Amino acid sequence: MDASNYPHISALAAEAAREMSADELAFQRKRYPDLDDEAWNMLVQQVDGRRRMQRKLPELTSIQGIIFPPRINMEQCSSEVTAQYKARLIQALGVCQLLDLTGGFGIDFLYMSRGLQKAVYAERDNNLAAIVRYNLRLTGNYAHCDVLCEDAEKFLQQFTFAPTTNGKRLIYLDPARRSETGGKVVRIEDCQPDVTALLPTLLAKSDCVLLKLSPMLDLTAAIRTLGGTWQTHIVAASGEVKEVLLLHDKNQTAAQITAADPTQDLLFTFTGEEEAEAQENLCMATIDEGDYLYEPHAALLKAGAFRVLCKRYGVAKLATNTHIYHSATMGNAFPGRIFRVEQAYANMRELQGIQANIICRNYGMSADALKKRLHAKDGGTTYLLGATTMQGTGKGQGAKPALFVCKRVK
């Protein structure tokens, strides 16, 4: 659709969205006889987008006239929270010029490009590029931004940053995690575009390379395949891991790992060497009522911060493969949920019909299976935590499953 029609369609969508959902609008085709099929489909798309993106992109949806792309592009785009994290990250690096080779809906570009000397967006889909070009005009001062319809591989070969002496030049890629046939991929070299093939050129033409990857990708294998030194950022929102960022900076010497959740004030940084050198500190003592159990934030688990938690917070793991921690007194600074034990080593027969929020970690059955076994009801303020533990007994030490009835205190 020609961008000159966007204001009219957006105005119609704003009016329609006050009355009905996109699904309801789909049955109201006769109300818009002046719209051709392309404009009609765009109208439905706008109502769907405005309602769907209100929580994910509150700033953008509050701007009158914004145009939304097809649903698949909205589902794949970054949230406002994670895009703002990237913007803060490149600001701390001292970036002054940006090339986004896989622009998409442009949410990351929108935030990362703010305040830079120059920013270039490249996207092979002409419709997406047109939408981003139009939206940028509505969102502020983006005269320093170029929005281009280009293929990433071909454009990279001929692209050159302008000379600069007061900042870094960064190339950003968010490769598609699906094959040409639409199937999901788990290796970085199977993503599109293939970052491993482009890497020599990326490094030669920039000071920094930032990659956005799916949490489902094999992170260790990806870093090994890429080679060199990469910082890792595990970015979560509201306790759920959303994306993995890999950052290569020509000036960096340490492969730091950061677990972050801006919505919960989590910013935890460590190195692989620190994790490897930290003592595991297994909990061999009996866990008593009134003790505390700790469940690390999901971003920490994805980042592989296991032993380092023992070192920094003075807690002990329940078992080697049980990522639940214990202390006799409460450590309020622990990055995750904290539970006070109300009943230790509970008997399963005594728990029949309990109402509780069930958590299982290395327990031998899933939370759903345990719920079914106990005929338990969901909800309430009680938590039932199932985990394999290491505890001292008169006959020695051994690992065994245990149930703990708890109350959450943080």
Residue 28 lies in a domain: yes
Residue 272 lies in a domain: no
- Is residue 250 located within the same domain as residue 146? yes
CATH of the domain at 188: 3.40.50.150
Dump pLDDT digits (tens) for 336-372. 999 999 999 999 999 999 999 999 999 999 999 999 9
Dump pLDDT digits (tens) for 286-332. 999 999 999 999 999 999 999 999 999 999 999 999 999 999 999 99
Residue 269 lies in a domain: no
Q: How far is CA 9 from CA 111, 126, 132, 225, in A?
A: 25, 19, 16, 46
pTM beyond 0.95: the answer is no
CA distance 304 to 218: 13
- Is residue 299 located within the same domain as residue 374? yes
Judged against a pLDDT cut of 80, whether residue 392 lies above it is answered with: no
Asked whether the beta carbons of 292 and 328 are under 8 A apart, the reply is yes
Number of structural domains (the chain) is 3
Using a 10 angstrom Cβ sphere, with 0-12 exposed, 13-18 middle and 19 or more buried, the burial of residue 6 is buried
Dump pLDDT digits (tens) for 232-265. 999 999 999 999 999 999 988 889 999 999 999 9
- Is residue 234 located within the same domain as residue 141? yes
Q: Residue 366's domain spans which residues?
A: 277-408
Residue 340 lies in a domain: yes
| Pairing verdict, β 208-213 and 316-319 | unpaired
CA distance 268 to 258: 5
Q: How far is CA 143 from CA 115, 116, 208, in A?
A: 11, 11, 23
- Is residue 214 located within the same domain as residue 84? yes
| 99 CB-side CA count, 13 A | 23
The residue out of 51, 75, 99 marking a domain boundary is 75
List 390's β-bridge partners, or say none. Answer: 399
φ, ψ of residue 70 to 5 degrees: the values are -55, 160
Contacts 24+ apart (CB under 8 A), 362-365: 362/319, 362/321, 362/322, 362/323, 362/387, 362/388, 363/387, 363/388, 363/401, 364/388, 364/401
pLDDT of residue 328: 96
CATH of the domain at 67: 1.10.10.1110
- Is residue 256 located within the same domain as residue 338? no
- Is residue 61 located within the same domain as residue 110? no
- Is residue 256 located within the same domain as residue 296? no
